[in-house]
A and B are shown apart, each in its own frame.
Chain A
Amino acid sequence: MANEALALSGIDAYYGDSHVLHDVTWSLGEARLLGLLGRNGAGKTTCMNVTMGVARPRRGAVTLFGQNIAGRAPEDIAARGIALVPQGRRVFRSLSVHENLLVAARKPEAGGKHAPWGFQTVYAAFPRLKERRHHLAGHLSGGEQQMLAIGRALMANPRVLLMDEPSEGLAPRIVAEVMATIRRLKEQGLSIVLVEQNAKLVFDIADDIVILNSGQVAVAGTAAGLRDSGIDLHQYLGIY
């Protein structure tokens, strides 16, 4: 692909002896949204961990804007313009909302496309966070913590954003809010990987789809193409 933001190619990853990712290859185009789907334990979070340097792949390359980052330390990878909204949100519970944003703040690269993210813009996007900025993150509701996890990732002014099941455990109204936020970020030109178990949510906004099954890429294609192809996706996605 000509304008590739992030690509995993031929990734094999293990936890100890258990082989979790088998020759996984997928790529995210610039300013596109890739939906990464799959059942519990399919290997979605492991893909995120490998990309961020939290897990080391045994084989394969992770390419971010043309440079191989596989095997680098997470803090070095973070410095190259990629941020993660992790599964389970993982806000820093004993820090205030404001401090959670503060520790993740990073200057945008020169020549960024849209106005850089900072306290003002994040608080404007999530007014609820501004109201609660002196509260401890651990005391926020699930929805607020999700907003904070997204805000924290944006503070780094990333060019690629990874979101690992941002709708997990949230009420439908909050899920709709989160999805609207993601849509907005996409319109601003951010390249996004959205990990989900809920296929319907993803097909609504994704450009491309990758479905993992038992650590292997089972299906890959554009969202529109897959929708029209009539392939039965249910076999890979459990109940959805």
Chain B
Amino acid sequence: MAPLRAITPGVSMWTILAINSVTFGGLLFLLSAGFSLIFGLMRVPNLTHGSMFMLGGYIGSTAIVTWHLPFWLAAALAAAAVAVFGGVVERLLLRRLAGSVLAQVLVTLGIAFMVSDFCLMVWGGDPISIDTPSALSGGTRTLGVYFPTYRIAIILIAVVIAALLWALLERTRLGAMIRAGVDDPEMARVVGIRVSRLFTVVFCLGAALAGFGGIMGAPILSVYPGLDFAMLPLALVVVILGGTGSLIGSLVGSIVIGFIYNFGLVLLPQLAYFILFLPMVVVLVLRPQGLFGRAAP
């Protein structure tokens, strides 16, 4: 019996690590799906995406802690607020810089720094932690493994959102219009498609997802100064790995990076970032369009 006892904790540690990895992958998907769509469809490298994640976390947490709103209402509010922020940034700034990638990089990076400062001023330097929504607290023990309900819920929500996004883009008229606007913006306008309005919708949608990811992640990661620039590189890695504009690429990339990040932190903590960026470098060299991306024409 003794050897079995020795093995069991080990097995459950791996399982817990695996569950955490997939959960983190789910959060990364909420973060990177929007980044990937905005970059893949509109060619805008939106470096405020980490800031949107953090803003969602802060706004949602405040709504829960200070205003005592229920978790899901707070999450919806956070997503909506960040969508408005994204819409303003897109309409007022990025729209004027269409086609100039360098200017877009600099402006979005500048805004990201401003958001950092703003959040530090408003929410201070201490991490804010919130509880998991009460309906999803606790967990179930099956086959000797403990499955925390909230983490499983995040995984399911990410998969459902991936499916909805896919259906929106590939199975609706709106999605076809967005793709037509990407294919040939001028011709799309000539057939009557309001391309500029659709691109704002895509940008707001990406922002809302990032904000939603921020509040969904808050019970696990907490919200703290620097969360923005901790998440941004992860979004970049996911999108480069999965391929820009590819939803399935974002989903797979997120889960792969979720595993690499969590296992790397536990097994080789000194090399966690090295291990994280290694697959990105390999993919960039061998398959620049990403695992699921289409080659540039």
Contact = CB atoms under 8 A, between A and B. Distances in A.
- Select the residue from B176, B190, B194 with max chain A CB neighbours within 10 A: B190
Interface in A88-121: 90, 92-95, 99-100, 102-104, 106
A86 B187 contact: yes
Interface in B172-209: 173, 176-177, 179-180, 182-184, 186-195
Contacts of B186: 54, 74
Interface residues of B, number: 18
Given A95-B176, A99-B176, A104 B192 contact: yes
A193 interface: no
Contact of A83 (B173, B184, B191): B191
A84 B192 CA distance: 11
Given A92-B183, A93-B183, A103 B176 contact: yes
B176 A102 contact: yes
B187 to A, nearest CB: 5
A175 interface: no
A103 B187 contact: no
A39 interface: no
A102 B191 contact: no
B176 A106 contact: no
B194 to A, nearest CB: 5
B190 A94 contact: no
A153 B187 CA distance: 11
Contact of A95 (B183, B190, B195): B183
A66 to B, nearest CB: 21
Contacts, number: 60
B192 A75 contact: yes
A93 B187 CA distance: 12
A79 B192 contact: yes
B64 to A, nearest CB: 42
A74 B186 CA distance: 8
B180 A103 contact: yes
B191 A78 contact: yes
Contacts of B187: 86, 90, 92
Contacts of A52: 190
Interface in B19-61: none
B191 A152 contact: yes
A95 B179 CA distance: 7
A69 interface: no
A45 B190 CA distance: 14
Contacts of A106: 192
Contacts of A78: 189-192
A13 interface: no
Contacts of B191: 78, 83, 103-104, 152-153, 156
Contact of B193 (A53, A75, A90, A153): A75
A218 interface: no
A78 B191 CA distance: 6
Contacts of A95: 176, 179-180, 183
Nearest to A78: B192
A73 interface: yes
Nearest to A100: B180
B179 A84 contact: no
19 contacts: A53-B189, A54-B189, A74-B190, A75-B192, A75-B195, A78-B190, A78-B192, A79-B192, A83-B191, A86-B187, A90-B187, A92-B179, A92-B184, A95-B180, A99-B180, A103-B173, A104-B191, A106-B192, A156-B191
